Amino acid sequence: MPEYLFLHELIFKKPAGTSRGVLHTKPSWIFNYELPSGAHVQTEFPIIPGLSPEYSDHQQYESKLLEFLAEVKPFIMVWSQSDFFTNPSFSAAMAKWSGFPSFVFGLEVLLLGIRAQGKKVLFNTPFTRQQSSIPINGLVWMGALADMRTQANEKIAAGFQTVKLKIGALDWPQEFMLLQELRAHAPATELTIRVDANGAFSPSEIGSVLEELARIDIHSIEQPIGAGQIDQMRELCMHTPVPIALDEELIGVNSLAQKRALLEHIKPQYIILKPSLHGGLSGVREWIALAEERNIGWWLTSALESSIGLSAIVQFGACYAPTIPQGFGTGGLYTNNFPAPLRIQEGNICWISDSHKD
């Protein structure tokens, strides 16, 4: 059966600013697999340079990925015919590669695609039957203050009831001024505002930032300080006036015991789950179960995947029938994305393909 792997450099329509720098392109490796029927299944192995733990450079990543694919190839068809999430053989094989979350994620998307015989519907849910939609937040990328203001107003005008702004790269008083403007536009009962610091603040300065955010009813702040400072993060979560969500803190925390220990030590209000960074879909299932046992809130978000990975993440998330806004987009960031059976309508993401035909 013909198969091939290729690098696809996703090109941003406009530079995407984060506290870690500005992104112009984003690499993903696409793997094509042909079924005996002649149908093709594509999956994605997505990374974010500087954030994905398994990535050093293109050559290193692709070499390791080819090694991974060669190792799992004999089992692909067997795993695809089982509930691989609960298959001990699959779990044991993935344990070896737990430090490569994008590998686990890409393989899981491939297995789901094979099980679906190359069709787009990976999970049969009310969402893919076009009977429900999923609320999402509108993301405002970092940029000049005027640009961020324009982005936020466009999201609100488009019907988003939750907006998320990335903070920490500009002068904080300027960023706070913009947040105040948005809150003046609508109270918290009408507009939910989330912020994502990507670890930009130091433990010594974050206290005053949290107090200011609390004054304008900010819903939550993601990763206020850098990952790895678990004692400081625990202290923050104990006393914060604004709910704290862990994001980068979860990267590299792979075993069930490690996940349990982290949640019990820090006791965050929320965790943000990205399958391609947090252990694949199976790893995210573990995080969700542990969080719900401890009354910790959670939501899913994409991590700049192409529409191949995004479609799988959205469908996986729909299995949980989420009511809290998720961090999904439709891949409209890129000039050279793949077609997607998704669209956004007034702050909700919807499935637009006929599940009986796709």
Return the active site residues: 166, 274
Closest by CA to 319, choosing from 111, 85, 30, 106, is 85
The SS3 call for residue 304 is coil
Tell me which amino acid residue 244 is: I
Q: At what angle do helices 280-293 and 256-266 cross, to 10 degrees?
A: 40
Q: Find out whether 97 and 68 touch, Cβ atoms under 8 Å.
A: yes
Helix (H) or strand (E) holding 220: strand 220-222
Lookup: tokens for 273:
């789950």
Q: CB 62: neighbour CB atoms within 10 A?
A: 16
The C-alpha angle 55, 329, 247, rounded to 5 degrees, equals 50
DSSP codes of every residue in 36-87 = TTS-EEEEEEE--TTT-TT-S-HHHHHHHHHHHHHHHGGGHHHHHTS-GGG-
Distance CA 19, CA 32 (A): 34
Residues whose CB falls within 8 Å of the CB of residue 152, separated by 6 or more in sequence, listed in order:
138, 140, 163, 165, 178, 182
Distance CA 16, CA 14 (A): 6
Helical ranges in 82-226 per DSSP H: 88-96, 101-115, 145-157, 172-185, 203-215
Closest by CA to 179, choosing from 148, 133, 223, 135, is 148
